[in-house]
């Protein structure tokens, strides 16, 4: 039990310090009133004050020093002994300290030990001391009435103690829940920031990096054609480069807009795919075959990542595949969007995925598929081309018109 919990328990009776101290003062005032009524001597009043002050001081120490379990047992035994002795020194018709304070010790033991076995042991000890003190000082004939008074006070005090302890425990649990909530909130913020950084990295790769890489390749081709005096082809490639630069700029602005707000676009998935394929054919002059089913009602996050995956696949074909033909299929099978892109290029070894520093394209495909709960299968080998299949389980997707 940590210090916070221990302090909270000691402050209940389920002991609240204020409530317990008020009770001690109340018992003391009642005892003084009884002694004055019985014409007690100044000596008796001084002894009563001394016993009450010692009890008050011991209780204050028990709260302030945060006693251990063993020290708590010593404290209970010391308090019981003190009250037992007081019954012999304070000769009144009503043993007010025994009747008033011993039930409070039982209630305090509930808070301190928080174990019914230990509380039962404390109760038996306190009850035995109480009965012996009454029997020795007042005789067995008075014992039944004082036992009834004892249990009446005990019922009231224990009821208050249990109810107050429940409130204290509820407050402790609430404090723990709030601390856990703060830790979880902080962790969510950290994960959100990490995910956002990964998303920005993917977006930058799929827009600026790909666009600039394509422009560089085209400028290198222009340089080669210029050296060979083929100005007409060079001019044509430059025109394509300018168009690609504008498209890259447009995509970059789209990414920036997406970071600021999420636009809502409906029924545009097939159209956007066709636009990507048209740009790809113009840049590469590779024959593209498209088999599609019109797909509508795609959530924004799924549509965005599917488009980026298609764009990355086409970019990889353009840069690495040396292909002459590309085939693309889009369809829905068993509530899954299935997108398959294949080429007849040179292929590569699957073991090389992720092993080349600075090439994040294929890793990005896997990340984006995982982000939307999908899977990517890559079938390839050197000399046989490459086939990439994306499967995304999704609800609410339907066939429709473009």
Q: Domain 265-402 - what CATH class?
A: alpha beta
Q: What is the pLDDT of residue 302?
A: 87
**Residue boundaries of the structural domains of the chain:** 3-182, 265-402
| Integer CA distances (angstroms), 156 to 101, 149, 323, in order | 13, 11, 90
Question: What is the three-class DSSP state of 352?
Answer: helix
Q: What is the pLDDT of residue 400?
A: 47
Separation of alpha carbons 92 and 364, rounded Å? 89
Q: What is the pLDDT of residue 394?
A: 79
Q: What is the pLDDT of residue 15?
A: 46
Separation of alpha carbons 47 and 93, rounded Å? 16
Residues contacting 128, CB < 8 A, separation 6+: none
Q: Which residues of the chain have pLDDT under 50?
A: 1-15, 262-264, 266-267, 356-360, 399-402
Burial of 21 (0-12, 13-18, 19+ CB in 10 A): middle
Q: What is the pLDDT of residue 138?
A: 76
pTM of the model as a whole = 0.41
Going by DSSP bridges, is the β-strand pair 336-343/325-333 parallel, antiparallel, or unpaired? antiparallel
Q: What is the pLDDT of residue 388?
A: 94
The torsion angle over the Cα atoms of residues 29, 32, 37 and 38, rounded to 10 degrees, is 150
Q: What is the pLDDT of residue 91?
A: 63
Q: What is the pLDDT of residue 337?
A: 92
Cα–Cα nearest to 212, from 202, 201, 223, 204: 204
Q: What is the pLDDT of residue 329?
A: 94
């Amino acid at each position: 039990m940590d210090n916070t919990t221990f302090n909270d328990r000691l402050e209940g009776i389920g002991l609240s310090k204020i409530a317990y101290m008020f009770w001690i003062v109340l018992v003391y005032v009642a005892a003084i009133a009884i002694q004055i009524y019985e014409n007690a001597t100044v000596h008796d009043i001084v002894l009563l004050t001394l016993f009450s002050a010692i009890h008050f001081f011991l209780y204050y120490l028990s709260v302030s020093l945060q006693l251990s379990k063993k020290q708590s047992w010593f404290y209970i035994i010391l308090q019981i002994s003190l009250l037992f002795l007081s019954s012999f020194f304070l000769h009144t018709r009503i043993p007010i300290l025994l009747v008033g304070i011993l039930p409070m010790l039982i209630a305090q033991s509930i808070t301190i030990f928080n174990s019914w076995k230990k509380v039962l042991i404390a109760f038996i000890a306190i009850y035995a001391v109480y009965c012996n003190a009454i029997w020795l000082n007042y005789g067995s004939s008075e014992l039944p009435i004082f036992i009834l008074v004892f249990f009446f006070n005990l019922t009231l005090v224990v009821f208050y103690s249990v109810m107050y302890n429940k409130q204290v425990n509820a407050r402790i649990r609430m404090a723990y829940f709030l601390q856990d909530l703060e830790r979880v909130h902080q962790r969510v913020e950290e994960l959100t920031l990490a995910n956002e950084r990964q998303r920005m990295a993917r977006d930058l790769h799929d827009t600026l990096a790909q666009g600039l890489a394509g422009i560089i390749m085209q400028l290198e081709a222009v340089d080669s054609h210029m050296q060979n005096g083929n100005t007409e082809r060079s001019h044509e490639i430059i025109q394509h480069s300018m168009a690609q630069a504008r498209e890259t700029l447009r995509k970059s602005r789209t990414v920036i807009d997406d970071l600021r707000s999420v636009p809502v676009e409906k029924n545009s998935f097939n159209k956007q795919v066709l636009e990507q394929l048209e740009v790809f054919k113009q840049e590469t002059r590779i024959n593209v075959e498209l088999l599609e089913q019109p797909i509508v009602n795609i959530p924004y996050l799924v549509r965005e990542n599917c488009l980026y995956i298609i764009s990355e696949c086409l970019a990889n074909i353009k840069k690495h595949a040396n292909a002459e033909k590309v085939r693309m299929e889009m369809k829905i099978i068993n509530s899954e969007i299935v997108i398959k892109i294949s080429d007849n290029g040179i292929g590569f070894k699957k073991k090389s995925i992720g092993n080349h520093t600075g090439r994040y394209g294929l890793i990005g495909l896997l990340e984006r598929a995982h982000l939307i709960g999908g899977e990517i299968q890559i079938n390839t080998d050197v000399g046989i081309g490459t086939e990439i299949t994306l499967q995304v389980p999704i609800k609410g997707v339907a066939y429709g018109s473009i």
